[in-house]
Amino acid sequence: MPRRKKNVYLESLGCARNLVDSELMLGRLANAGWNIVQDPARAHTIIVNTCSFIESAIDESIDTILDFSAHKQNGSCRRLVVTGCLPERFREKIAKTLPEVDCFIGTGAFDKIVQAVEGVPIASGCLLPDPNLTVLSEPSVPRIRSVPHMAYLKVAEGCSRRCSYCVIPRLRGKQRSRSPEDIVSEARLLIESGVKELILVAQDTTSYGKDLKGSSGLGRLLEKISKISGDAWIRILYAHPESIDDNIVKTIASGRNICSYFDIPIQHASRPVLKRMGRSYNQNDLLKLFDKIRSAVPDASLRTTVITGFPGETDKDFRDLFSFIEKVKFDHLGVFIYSDSKDIPSHKLPDRVPKNVAKKRRDRIMSRQREISLENNRKHIGKVFDVLVEELPEKRLCIGRTRYQAPDVDGITYIAGELREGSFASVKITDALEYDLVGEAA
């Protein structure tokens, strides 16, 4: 046993893919003898793994760094390390803006976290190699996971698309898929460790394998994972409307343990806006896709995200989007307001939409979506679902999710009864709220 070194605390911001990077960094640090703590006040080193996808994420990252920097003055913290998308986006400039930080690590250097934490000298305090060089997997590095019963499984890194509003391909490089063998063996380890839900993620998950020679894509990978996962659920997040093929839909339809859940961010439904976004489908393509999914998987739960206020979005474009949402009646929907920045291609587009107009449009969609979501939820009253129990906030009250609800982004299910955390339970739905369900142990 190596002698335990000092305490380290990590704060993970942003998306599920970032969380996987955080868990792997913690695994590397634990392997190197560091003691992982849950309380930043006890840490000698604090790491903030950041997000910089949109303006609000940048603000949150900077605020979090500044908050934690206080521990250097008032607490036991001696070293503050910032990793991920914020330093990747702002490069060496960020070191001048945030002198409180001792070291910055970009998305191509997560594997150097031990050196960064241990104070190995790094020129200008920034380690920012080409993100295309990210180490995709190291089977010898165990992940220190934040939730025992659920795990995200990253199947690829980077994105080869060029949506005009998105900075991700620059921050994460081109798509590089992991080998199916590597993913299946990680899935096996996760299932053996007691995971009850495996969530496959990438930037464009349904494009998995397109960069691998002879790959038969995500459908085949799903089949393999489904076979070794017993009763554990398998879910996919971040599908792209252009890469979700028939094989994927067929595999989801026939996979006993694959959730009938389709997270397909469409971003918009008006042809001119989609064109300016760099997305080459139109409303008819989307309608055909959703019809196909609903006829192959009748209990399919559909989730999407859209952007309001994209440059040039007219009242007519917005009406098109609104009526499309009314037509499809998504089970879950999120709206982002367009976030501009000089370093994304859409910055050069004319006809800016004022922020207050973009906000009003978002609010109109969300207010209609609340009604749609309630209507959809009411259809579940009286049905019995398997629910994965995740929290026990009070005696005789549990919180869980059906297979139609993804963690963090969708609603939850309240259950009257005493159940075990991290287990599946049969639950009869007795009531429906705008986003959540209410039920009792059946």
Phi–psi pair at 248, nearest 5 degrees? -65, -45
Residue 323 sits at the vertex; the CA angle it makes with 321 and 325, to the nearest 5 degrees, is 70
Which 39-78 residues touch ligand SF4, going by CB under 6 A? none
Question: What single letter denotes the amino acid at residue 269?
Answer: A
For the bound state, the minimum distance from the C-beta of residue 115 to ligand SF4, rounded and expressed in Å, comes to: 29
Residues 201-230 close enough to bind ligand SF4 by CB under 6 A: 203-204
H-helix or E-strand spanning residue 432: strand 424-432
Q: Applying CB under 6 A, which of residues 26, 43, 168, 259 lies at the interface with ligand SF4?
A: 168
Per CB under 6 A, the list member of 54, 81, 86, 166 interacting with ligand SF4 is 166
Cβ of residue 53: shortest distance to ligand SF4, in angstroms?
Answer: 9
The answer to whether the beta carbons of residues 107 and 84 sit under 8 Å apart is: yes
Which of 169, 209, 255, 309 is the binder for ligand SF4 (CB under 6 A)?
Answer: 169
φ, ψ at 392 (rounded to 5°): -125, 80
| 159 contacts 203 by C-beta, under 8 angstroms | yes
In the complex, minimum distance from the CB of residue 168 to ligand SF4, in angstroms, rounded to a whole number: 4
Closest distance to ligand SF4 from the beta carbon of 220 (Å): 22
Cβ-contact 335, 308 below 8 angstroms: yes
Binding status of residue 18 toward ligand SF4 by CB under 6 A: no
- Binding segment for ligand SF4 (CB under 6 A), chosen from 21-29, 157-165, 253-261, 293-301, is 157-165
* Structural contact between residues 442 and 415, judged by C-beta atoms closer than 8 angstroms: no
Q: Which of 51, 95, 163, 412 binds ligand SF4 (CB under 6 A)?
A: 163
Should residue 240 be labelled a site residue for ligand SF4 when binding is judged by CB under 6 A?
A: yes
Q: Is 263 in the site for ligand SF4 (CB under 6 A)?
A: no
Comparing CA positions, the residue from 120, 196, 199 lying closest to residue 155 is 199
Quote the tokens at residue 402.
């059906």
What's the CA gap between 46 and 305, in Å, rounded?
A: 33
Rounded to the nearest whole angstrom, what is the least distance from the CB of residue 39 to ligand SF4 in the complex? Answer: 34
The whole-angstrom distance between residue 234's C-alpha and the CA centroid of its chain comes to 15
Considering only the C-alpha atoms of the chain, give the largest distance between any 2 of them, rounded to a whole number of Å: 66
Residues 363-382 that bind ligand SF4 (CB under 6 A): none
259 is a site residue for ligand SF4 (CB under 6 A): no
Please provide residue 261's backbone torsions phi and psi, each rounded to the nearest 5 degrees.
-135, 125
d(CA 424, CA 9): 31
Per CB under 6 A, 16 contacts ligand SF4: no
* Closest CB 224 distance from ligand SF4, rounded Å: 24
161 contributes a contact to ligand SF4 by CB under 6 A: yes
**3-class DSSP state of 384:** strand
Least distance in angstroms from the C-beta of 416 to ligand SF4: 40
Of the pair 172, 196, the CB lying nearest ligand SF4 is at 172
| Contact status: 17 vs ligand SF4 (CB under 6 A) | no
Shortest Cβ 156–ligand SF4 spacing (Å): 11
Stretch that binds ligand SF4, among 68-76, 160-168, 323-331, 348-356 (CB under 6 A): 160-168
Is residue 130 within 8 A of residue 146, CB to CB? The reply is no
* Alpha helices (H) in 204-282, listed in sequence order: 217-228, 246-254, 271-277
Contacting positions for ligand SF4 (CB under 6 A): 159, 161, 163, 166, 168-169, 203-204, 240
